[in-house]
Structure 1
């Protein structure tokens, strides 16, 4: 343990009393022993404090209670409280695998590696396994801005972050209501390498009413994040890649709306905008065909 750098694990929670203790236990069960767990209770009103009382007296767990200010501010407060050379996050309704840090930390032997992420698994609200998916960026390592600008495919909870990334390139953008992880990865990808761990080290919980189901808000923020990144890095991305990134965003939004709302005109408009941005992008034409077939 003496040779292990300290990893600060931040769990920001709001009214997740049913699950938060499981999240903390999964982090404490790490085979990598040199950790601290910082729980930011973001104004919970559901008895979260009582659920966390079992960790009172545990020197590796600190609970910070604040008024409700939202996830970006809660996570940033956790970063401020953290003492570790490395940072990681576990959502309050998710869990870590016991060997997560033991598998991922050796990949930081290269001092230019800023983020190490991994594969994920999924479960329902009753801890029952759902489907298994390999990350879209499996194998994408090194400086991966060109991949990330098309789509955020790094599962947030799997990532371990070198603290210097935050010191050099900033923490979460508190003006964003969602999509804060993609904004973070895009910024870090300019100066830091990313590494991928093929093992599944994190389990996401899928349940009704989840924030991530707000697909309209997600894509609205997606365009905002993309525009911000391209404005701040005008010479980092080629004109062709900029067009493809916008095209992919329109396609993803259009198909999400078509699937959720069984509508045609708005998704059709989005797909046509995508094709106008990048007529060589085969995903746009394939999506157009799918949309037309659904209407027939």
Structure 2
């Protein structure tokens, strides 16, 4: 039986899947299997995966589309490893990522979720000048709610026992156990991490290094901030009854951090008015981001103001051009 199962959700990812699978095959820790869950693809995803299937550690499952959460759930159900990692089919792993996580979990039996920082890359796989360097130690549920140190779904390696502890059967589904909530098409990661933190005693802890290579799509930084906010609010509504006192204490600050995040995304998309609106709503909820992370907050405020001024300047009418004097 493999020590680790790496689940790769795949939906119309023919352009990037090959790089993802090659990065997994190149791991320095080799006691793993890779479960590719084709979630209803209509492109050449299967053809790209085919050469890797000659390696008996790689296997391919096709299913009707259930979304990212549904693909991960299927992968967890099929997994044979006692540790389960996830790598979305447009991301990659550093060659030493799995080795570091296995070592970390072996040394810390109370840690259920081991994660790393991330190096961002563009759609072509070129590194960007952006890294996520999250909090690594003494992580509590409030840290996850406010700042989500796990960062993205390709960052963690998680004990199978953690998923056993949060498994549930959804009343409207015949698909077996749920671990990620398939009713969410966004924010399914943070919902799952919060549920683990609130319902179990498993610890969250990170390892040093940007070991996850996270691809930012062309519209990834700026897409549909209103939908992102609505999805986050749905997570709050779902989980609030689990621990009302916890949410009463920490949700206002968490909402302020979320609004600041969305302001940064709005700036990236060139919508300075929306960015300023998000910031005003953030500070109305809580001033914590201002004193807890003053530099990041100040940079966001200045960027929103500068973007607004540049937009106004670009929209200002140009003075008429003088006609040339006749000779």
TM range (shorter): 0.7 to 0.9
- Unaligned residue ranges in structure 2 (runs of 5+): 168-178, 310-327
Which of 247, 269, 276 is residue 256 of structure 2 equivalent to?
A: 247
Q: Secondary structure at the match of 2:205?
A: strand
Distance 1:164 1:288, change over 3 A: same
Q: Which moved more, 1:182-191 or 1:207-216?
A: 207-216
Which of 62, 77, 83 is residue 86 of structure 1 equivalent to?
A: 83
TM-score normalised according to structure 1 size: 0.86
CA drift at 1:280: 6.0
1:208 aligns with 2:257: no
Q: Rg: which structure is higher?
A: 2
CA deviations on 1:156-204 (whole Å, 9 max, x unpaired) are 2121001111111231110111111111111122322111111222212
Q: Report what 2:324 is aligned to.
A: none
How far apart, in 1, do the equivalents of 2:89 and 2:268 lie? 29
TM-score normalised according to structure 2 size: 0.78
How far apart, in 1, do the equivalents of 2:213 and 2:95 lie? 11
How far apart, in 2, do the equivalents of 1:289 and 1:159 lie? 33
How far apart, in 2, do the equivalents of 1:101 and 1:115 lie? 13
Q: Report what 1:127 is aligned to.
A: 125
Which of 18, 21, 24 is residue 18 of structure 2 equivalent to?
A: 21
Q: Secondary structure at the match of 1:46?
A: coil
Q: Secondary structure at the match of 2:246?
A: coil
Q: Secondary structure at the match of 2:183?
A: coil
Q: Report what 2:33 is aligned to.
A: 36
How far apart, in 1, do the equivalents of 2:120 and 2:5 lie? 24
Contact 1:10–1:78 (Cα < 8 Å) also in 2:
yes
Q: Which moved more, 1:88-97 or 1:51-60?
A: 51-60
CA deviations on 1:52-97 (whole Å, 9 max, x unpaired) are 1112332101100112221111111111111111110111122111
Cα RMSD for the two superposed structures: 2.7
How far apart, in 2, do the equivalents of 1:97 and 1:279 lie? 37
Distance 1:209 1:143, change over 3 A: closer
